Amino acid sequence: MDLTFATSSEIAAAVKNGKVTALEVTRHFMSRVQTLDKQINAFVTVNEKAEEAAKAVDAKIAAGKDPGALAGVPVAVKDLLCTKGLRTTASSKILGNFIPPYSSTVVSRLEAAGAITIGKTSLDEFGMGSSNENAASGIVRNPWNPEYVPGGSSGGSAAALSARMASAAIGTDTGGSIRQPASFCGLFGIKPTYGRVSRFGIIAFASSLDQAGPMAHSTADCALMLETISGACSHDSTSASLEVPKWSQLLKDDVKGMRIGLPREYFAEKLDPDVDRVTKEAIEALKARGATTVEISLPLVKHAVPVYYLVATAEASANLARYDGMRFGHRSSNAAHGDLDDLYSRSRGEGFGPEVKRRIMLGTYALSSGYYDAYYAKASQVRRLIRDEFLKAFESCDVILSPVCTSPAFKIGERINDPLEMYLNDIFTTSTNLAGLPGMSVPAGYSSKGLPIGVQLMGRHWDEAKMFNVSLAIENALGAAKARRPHVI
Ligand code: GLN
């Protein structure tokens, strides 16, 4: 069996049937990390206890017990999710030595299902960015072309997975951080409906927007991963107590009669010609399989980026207040003796990177008295209207399709000095977070330079099933995910 290119469900089946041991699988992927990650820099921390965990899975099988649906599947976990006993940094200097005393629900559920946490992957510090250039552990390279960014903020997860240093990965998405890197690295990635996945043990960026979700090499693996991590959790009151469908068993690629909504405003943006072409090819493929397209209009979406950057920074400024050198995080040794304010400001000044500082300042301003009504309160009102607009649009369609981004991956260094240009990269992804809707990136083709391009699917609240349905239709029709391999492998 070629472990490198096997799907996660194939690996789990082989481990369960004794064709390969979980330990062999773990060693295989670990050795890929050792050789490939020198070039890619996707991992912040490799899990030294991965082999031990794999042995425990093998012991379970030897004892005749059920090892779980992800038996022996090596998963790369974004370094924003707490892992008990395994360093978790949020790619920030301020948490450089943080060893969590407990695991996030997502990681506990994966491990209970037999998955092996192979390591913790790099991100833009605290999830803030679109290129993985804001990480304390350095930039991450795109395995399709090492001069390009892998996207962000879950860039390490996407790069690790696309270079096949893991079989599946976990990202988080506050404004596009699963979907955009998935698109840039040729992967399937889903941000589920807000409340589908517990946020317990995930370092908070913007609590009303954050959701974790999987990245994978196929629709089926994405579905399997998502059903494992979803569902109510007593530690997160915003997690929904709805039943979690067994998406992996309900998969179909028949889209006959399905209505695909195409938002006029998304296509009016200045699109890179390759993105335009690939998006149209995906639409044609769905039509050829019997889907119909409906033009819809989402006029308020043009406000999504400013609304997002008010809401997200406001919440971030509150969430990041705990890193003060006393309660959490790096403590400066340069503060004046007995001066608590000096200790706070020096600890934060030394620990946070420039983008995080910018966001804290923006968010603090938006929440300050005298400006609150004009900025935060107004943004919250427009957010509600954006949600209503989507709900109205879903009266005439089942799934909405759009580009994920206006362009394929950009070059390292190209946008990092222009924050506004970087923020505008989020134009197509932030609205689903604001509305709480599920969104997915599906590999659909390649640019003329050979970089992957995904299309975005957006569904009604709790209707991930239809997105998986359309995703599988695109996967089977275009075969883009399997058509080419990244430069490094
Ligand atoms: N690029 C967006 C930002 O910088 C989204 C980040 C995310 O989803 N975590 O905020």
- Provide the CATH number for the domain around residue 23: 3.90.1300.10
55 touches 22 (CB < 8 A):
yes
Looking at residues 187-203, what average pLDDT do you find? 98
- What local confidence, expressed as pLDDT, does residue 268 receive? 82
Q: Which residues pair with 81 in a beta bridge?
A: 202
Ligand 1 centre distance from Cα of residue 177 (Å) = 5
Tell me whether residue 26 is in a domain: yes
pLDDT tens track for 281-297: 999 999 999 999 999 99
Q: Left (φ > 0), alpha (ψ -120 to 50) or beta: where does 258 sit?
A: beta
**Residue nearest to ligand 1 atom 5, measured at CA:** 175
* Structure token digits, residue 58: 């093998």
Give 142's DSSP letter.
B
Percent of the chain with pLDDT over 70: 100
Ligand 1 centre distance from Cα of residue 5 (Å) = 30
Is the pLDDT at 269 greater than 80? The verdict is: no
The SS3 assignment for 298 reads coil
Query: What is the position in ligand 1's atom list of the atom closest to the CA of 173?
Result: 8
pLDDT tens track for 371-381: 999 999 999 99
Tell me whether residue 196 is in a domain: yes
- What local confidence, expressed as pLDDT, does residue 201 receive? 98
Tell me whether residue 342 is in a domain: no
Q: Which protein residues are within 6 Å of ligand 1, measured from CB? A: 127-130, 153, 173-177, 205, 312, 426
Tell me whether residue 155 is in a domain: yes
Query: What is the position in ligand 1's atom list of the atom closest to the CA of 123?
Result: 9
Tell me whether residue 148 is in a domain: yes
- What local confidence, expressed as pLDDT, does residue 487 receive? 87
The rounded mean pLDDT for the chain is 97
Which H, E and C letters describe 322-363, residue by residue?
A: HECCCCECCCCCCCCCCCHHHHHHHHHHHHCCHHHHHHHHHH
- What local confidence, expressed as pLDDT, does residue 270 receive? 87
Tell me whether residue 337 is in a domain: no
- What local confidence, expressed as pLDDT, does residue 471 receive? 98
Tell me whether residue 488 is in a domain: no
Residues known to be catalytic: 78, 153, 177
**Residue nearest to ligand 1 atom 4, measured at CA:** 129
Letter for the amino acid at 394? F
**Residue with the two structure tokens 């609240």:** 461
Structural domain tally of the chain? 1
Query: What is the position in ligand 1's atom list of the atom closest to the CA of 312?
Result: 10
Is the pLDDT at 479 greater than 80? The verdict is: yes
Among 122, 130, 202, name the best residue to mutate to test ligand 1's pocket (greatest count of ligand atoms within 8 A of Cβ).
130
Domain coverage including residue 20: 3-259+397-483
- What local confidence, expressed as pLDDT, does residue 160 receive? 98
Among 153, 307, 358, 430, name the best residue to mutate to test ligand 1's pocket (greatest count of ligand atoms within 8 A of Cβ).
153
* DSSP secondary structure string for all residues of 364-431: HHHHSTTTTIIIIIHHHHHHHHHHHHHHHHTTS-SEEEEESSSSS--BTTSSTT-HHHHHHTTTTTHH
Classify strands 259-263 and 399-403 as parallel, antiparallel or unpaired. parallel
Looking at residues 330-335, what average pLDDT do you find? 96
Among 128, 134, 309, name the best residue to mutate to test ligand 1's pocket (greatest count of ligand atoms within 8 A of Cβ).
128
Ligand 1 centre distance from Cα of residue 178 (Å) = 9
Looking at residues 319-345, what average pLDDT do you find? 96
338: Cβ contacts below 8 Å, ≥ 6 apart: none
481 touches 219 (CB < 8 A):
no
CA atoms within 13 A on the CB side of 128: 28
pLDDT tens track for 102-157: 999 999 999 999 999 999 999 999 999 999 999 999 999 999 999 999 999 999 99
- What local confidence, expressed as pLDDT, does residue 157 receive? 99
Give the C-alpha separation, 316 to 319, whole Å: 5
**Residue with the two structure tokens 């559920």:** 109
Is the pLDDT at 227 greater than 90? The verdict is: yes
Tell me whether residue 74 is in a domain: yes
Q: Quick one: pLDDT band at residue 84, thresholds 50, 70, 90?
A: very high
Bond preceding residue 447 cis, omega within 30 of 0:
no
Looking at residues 411-427, what average pLDDT do you find? 94
Query: What is the position in ligand 1's atom list of the atom closest to the CA of 172?
Result: 9
pLDDT tens track for 235-256: 999 999 999 999 999 999 999 9
Is the pLDDT at 417 greater than 80? The verdict is: yes
Q: Quick one: pLDDT band at residue 489, thresholds 50, 70, 90?
A: confident
